[in-house]
Amino acid sequence: MNYDLEFKNILRIVTDGKELSYQLSKSAFEIIMSGKATEAQISSF
């Protein structure tokens, strides 16, 4: 799975002002907690 691409898509949804689905919220949390997101991505989130 390409975590970087998935997290970028999640960030795009959030920055567009849309709400995340339960599954996307869970994915974002898992990516952040697993250490696969960069510090820049986390701060953007």
Position 2 scores a pLDDT of 82
pTM of the model: 0.84
Share the mean pLDDT of the chain: 93
The answer for residues whose C-beta is within 8 angstroms of residue 3's C-beta and 6 or more apart is 31, 34, 36, 37
Q: Tell me the residue range of the domain where 19 lies.
A: 3-44
Q: For 5-21, how does the pLDDT look when each residue is reduced to its tens digit (9 = 90+)?
A: 899 999 999 999 999 99
Q: Per-residue pLDDT for 25 more than 80?
A: yes
Domain count for the chain, please give it.
1
pLDDT reading at 40 higher than 80: yes
Q: How confident is the model at residue 1, as a pLDDT?
A: 67
